[in-house]
Structure 1
Amino acid sequence: MPELVFFSGTMDCGKSTLALQIEHSRSARGLQGMIFTRDDRAGEGKLSSRLGLVTAAVEAGAGFDFYRHVVAHLSAGGRADYVIADEAQFLQPEQIDQLARIVDDLGLDVFAFGITTDFRSKLFPGSQRLVELADRVEVLQVEALCWCGARATHNARTVGGRMVVEGAQVVVGDVNQGEDEVGYEVLCRRHHRRRMTAAGARAAAISPDVLPVDPTSVTNRRPDSCPEPRP
């Protein structure tokens, strides 16, 4: 039976690499797919991975109708055995409904790839709709790591290495950006809550197990505020 499958994970865990691998494996067996993406780091109409692999894709911007596009392709004599949709978190909920309709009405497998939550740990609308509709949600097994070595579970937006928690939900950037550029970093939940990026940890020279302490709470304490020693 055809399925709508949502492959999800944090940034830098190999989602786009898997999308390209699925395309390679199926095309090598004579199948033909239709590839869609949105706001890829390599530019418009491309599906790319950080390993340097890239392929052409259809740019699915706001208002793009997946179902109508695939039906038009098939009606013109084209062939499609499956559909790949990368950067699916950026899609609108109604576009996810169109992907589900491709599965149900046209009998094609649809493989969607994307991150689940944004830099504020809030669900992307497209990802939320995929969780609601997908036949399967697959969490990628290649785990990205936080700077402390723990499993990374959250995506952080940074500017000059410092984590920011305000701004538009969608700002295109990539990992390892330079100073004053919008970048992204994957963190464990603990360091995402503390807003402690790799650059911040290096600057503070602290252990990942040390809790943040307000120095004024120690240096400004009056001597007479200390409790009397107990006999």
Structure 2
Amino acid sequence: MPELVFFSGTMDCGKSTLALQIVHNRSARGLQSLIFTKDDRAGEGKLSSRLGLVTEAVEATPTLDLYSFVVESLSRGGKVDYVIVDEAQFLAPEQIDQLARIVDDLDLDVFAFGITTDFRTKLFPGSQRLIELADRVETLQVEALCWCGARATHNARTVGGVMVVEGEQVVVGDVNRPAEEIGYEVLCRRHYRRRTTSASARAGTLSPDVLPVTPA
């Protein structure tokens, strides 16, 4: 039976790489994908991984009806065997409903990839709706690591290397941005709570509005 599957994890855990691997494996069996993405680091209409792999994709703009797009592609004689959606956390909840309709009405597998929570540890609306509707939610097995070596569980936003917890939910950045720019870093819960980024750890400083956490 076709499924809506949500592959989730922190930044830097290989979500886009897995999406591209699925495309590669299924293409080798003659299966044709339709790929959607939103706000990829490589630019509009691209699905890219940090390993340097890039492929063309359809940009899922806020007004794009994903279900209608697939139906139109099929009606024009296009071959669509399954659907890939990267950066699914950025989709609107109604677009997630459209993905479920693709599975149920068109009998196509949909594989969605995205992070679950933002830099404030709040659910993205798209991710929340995926958790509510998906047939399966799979946690990526490649563990991203905090600077301390522990398993990273939180996505932190940094400005000039200093962690921030206020601002717009969506600001496109990357874990490889220069420290003076807006960037992102994955942290374990302990260091997220203490707002200790790799830069502040090296400098031996804490964010100015954070008190040191003392042992109980």
Q: What number of residue pairs does the alignment pair up?
A: 210
Q: Deviations over 1:55-108 (max 9, x none)?
A: 000000111110000000001111100000000000000000000000000000
Contact 2:2-2:108 at 8 Å conserved across structures = yes
Question: Which stretches of structure 1, 4 residues or more, deviate above 6 A after TM superposition?
Answer: none
The reply to whether residue 200 of structure 1 matches residue 208 of structure 2 is no
Structure 2 residue runs of 5 or longer lacking an equivalent are none
How do 1:52-131 and structure 2 match up within 5 A?
52-131=52-131
Paired with 1:63 and 1:93, the residues of 2 have a C-alpha distance of 12
* Mapped partners of 1:23, 1:117: distance in 2: 26
Q: Does 1:150 align with 2:144?
A: no
Shift of 1:179: 3.0
Deviations, residues 20-71 of structure 1 (Å, cap 9, x unaligned):
0000000110000100000000000000000000000000011111000000
Instruction: Please state how far the C-alpha of 1:205 moved relative to its aligned partner.
Output: 7.6
In the TM superposition, what is the alpha-carbon distance from 1:212 to its structure 2 partner? Answer: 2.3
Query: Identity of aligned pairs, percent?
Result: 81
Counterpart of 2:176 in structure 1: which amino acid?
Answer: N
In structure 2, relative to structure 1, the CA distance for the partners of 1:31 and 1:147 (3 Å cut) is same
User: What is the Cα-based RMSD across aligned positions, in Å?
Assistant: 1.4
Distance 1:192 1:17, change over 3 A: same
2:8/2:138 contact within 8 Å kept: yes
How many angstroms apart in 1 are the aligned matches of 2:147 and 2:212? 17
Separation in structure 1 between the aligned mates of residue 17 and residue 67 of structure 2, nearest angstrom? 25
Instruction: Tell me the secondary structure at the aligned position of residue 175 of structure 1.
Output: coil
| Structure possessing the higher radius of gyration over alpha carbons | 1
| Alignment correspondent of 2:44 | 44
Taking the aligned partners of 2:105 and 2:94, their CA distance within structure 1 comes to: 16
Partner of 1:27: 27
Amino acid at match of 2:169: Q
3-state SS in 2 of match to 1:174: coil
User: Which residue type is aligned with residue 114 of structure 1?
Assistant: G
Distance 1:100 1:171 in 2: 27
In structure 2, how many angstroms separate the alpha carbons of the residues matched to 1:194 and 1:205?
11
Q: Deviations over 1:115-154 (max 9, x none)?
A: 0000000000000000000000000000000011100000
Query: What TM-score do the two structures reach when normalised by structure 2?
Result: 0.95
Matched residue, 2:7: 7
Q: State the secondary structure of the residue aligned to 1:35.
A: strand
- Contact 2:194–2:213 (CA<8 Å) still a contact in 1? no
SS at match of 1:95: helix
* TM-score where L is the length of structure 1: 0.89
- Structure 1 residues 163, 104: closer, same or farther in 2, change over 3 A? same
SS in structure 1 of the partner of residue 119 of structure 2: coil
